[in-house]
Amino acid sequence: METGGWTNRPTGCSKAPTFGWTESERKMKRSPPGLIYTILVDGNPVVALEANAREAAELCREEWFRADLSTLSSDGKSLCGLGSKLQARPATEDERSEYSEGSKEADASDDILFVYLVHLDGT
């Protein structure tokens, strides 16, 4: 499990934009709380986050997310290539456990927390 990324945190979990939703909208959209989704890149689990099904699916269509994934690598390979397919699905028990462990390292915040399920080069 790796954490880090978008907020230039040296060790910690990464935070992401909140899709332009207001704080009250984000709280209303969080149903049920604690549901963890995994983002697959070309069928491989890459990152876990707390979201609902719609939020996770929208994230897969976000250009900024694809662009950020393409700047990260694991074992010398980019996490996301030009033609890569991104999909969201509910996390497995192991992925939920990794998310839970990773979230313990993060600062409390209302931002979306990403926990990487792959080793990130340079971390």
Record the pTM: 0.72
**Nearest residue to 12 (alpha-carbon basis) of 117, 118, 99, 107:** 107
Instruction: List, for residues 54-94, the tens digit of each pLDDT value.
Output: 999 999 999 999 999 999 999 999 999 989 999 999 999 99
Instruction: List, for residues 87-123, the tens digit of each pLDDT value.
Output: 999 999 999 999 999 988 877 766 789 999 999 998 7
Contact between 7 and 17 (Cβ < 8 Å): no
Edge-to-edge strand ranges of the sheet holding 14-16: 14-16, 112-116, 44-50, 36-41, 86-90
